[in-house]
Structure 1
Amino acid sequence: MEALYLSCLAGGVLFALVSVIFGDVLSNALDGILDFLSVDILKPMVVASAITVFGGAGILITRHTSLSIIPNLSLSILIAIFISLLVYFLYVKPMENSENSTGYSIHDLVGKIGEITIPLPGIGYGEVMVKIGAGNVLHIASSLEQRIMIAGTRVVIVDEVDGVLLVTEFDEKRGDDV
């Protein structure tokens, strides 16, 4: 039985090392082949930790207690389940919820409200600031109607052409009705 525990412990440690070193390469190589097997709690990190803890607990219980095989096996499984649940709820689940991207497409800005930071001449370019998520981004802007707009003017982004945002003045009365 000790050979099973040692194998699980060694396999779990080996899996951890391989996933740290080659994790992205293997992930790209498999490219979702095993997605049909995915159950939320059966993430590779949770399964690997359960197997590793099962092996480690089994070795410790075998060497430091006088329990027979069945109680030893049962206790090792319970410890492995307990630790893997802790890993899932204290590490994996919170990390899934924290995965936010700060990336956006310039096309996503169409329809958003911004504020002129560098005045727009009738014909030419200025700059508009748009709130994206928790931060602000600055982009080159031009007036759609070729009107002069001073800094601080609230605008709506109407279109994007070649990386330049075409804006028009935001009408507060019409904006509330929509």
Structure 2
Amino acid sequence: MTLFGTSIETIYLVALIVSGAITLLYILFSDFLEGIAEAVGFNPTLLLAFITFFSASGYILERTTTFHSYIIIAVSILIALILDTLLNVFVLIPLSSAEQSLVYTEDSLKGRVGKVIIPIPEQGYGEVVIESNSGMISKPAASYKGTMVEEGTTVLVIEVENGVLSVVSYNNNRLHEEEEE
């Protein structure tokens, strides 16, 4: 079968090469292009995968079978739909869920226990490290009561304001009462 004076095998092959090249460019520039894709309302990963699966299966079927080209087009669409659905359900959706679970917000740090790695002077700033599922979170910190907190002290995050943790000393599941002079 020919289309626009070109054999269908050549069209499948060109579509496969072009979709593969665009997929490579999309991988390299996905952060920029993802914002554009959200505005348009479709997932370019699924579209590029569909075109790649369709053109690859069409090319292979044209080269290896004697079926009519219309049957090969229908079978290629079916194969591409099935593979695209499997890609979405078993790869893309779990990846998007995993990515979101590694993110933390400032509000999620309230009530967490951390350790002072840079001493916090009176009315000054130090640094606290908090262990999380995705690794260690290091944030600037100030004493909630304005007192000095030594390096290595276990602290409880009371509040977070403008990225700075307000902390109090914390040990053996009890808050230390600061002695007021």
Class of the TM-score when normalised by the shorter of the 2 chains: 0.5 to 0.7
TM-score after normalising by structure 1? 0.62
Q: Return the offset for 1:105.
A: 6.6
CA 1:48/1:132 → structure 2, altered by over 3 Å: closer, same or farther?
same
SS in 1 for 2:96: helix
Match of 1:54 in 2: 54
TM-score after normalising by structure 2? 0.62
SS in 1 for 2:39: coil
Q: Is residue 38 of structure 2 the alignment partner of residue 32 of structure 1?
A: yes
Q: RCO higher in 1 or 2 (8 Å CA, sep ≥ 6)?
A: 1
Q: Return the offset for 1:117.
A: 4.0
Superposed counterparts of 1:68-107, under 5 Å:
68-100=68-100
Q: Return the offset for 1:83.
A: 2.8
Root-mean-square deviation (CA, aligned residues, Å) is 3.8
CA 1:98/1:5 → structure 2, altered by over 3 Å: closer, same or farther?
farther
Q: Return the offset for 1:70.
A: 4.3
SS in 2 for 1:145: coil
Match of 1:11 in 2: 15
Among all aligned residue pairs of Structure 1 and Structure 2, give the percentage whose two residues are the same amino acid: 25
Q: Return the offset for 1:17.
A: 1.3
Q: Return the offset for 1:71.
A: 3.4
Which amino acid in 2 is paired with 1:67?
A: F
Q: Return the offset for 1:31.
A: 5.9
Aligned residues: 167
Structure 2: state its 5+ residue gaps: 176-181
Match of 1:44 in 2: 44
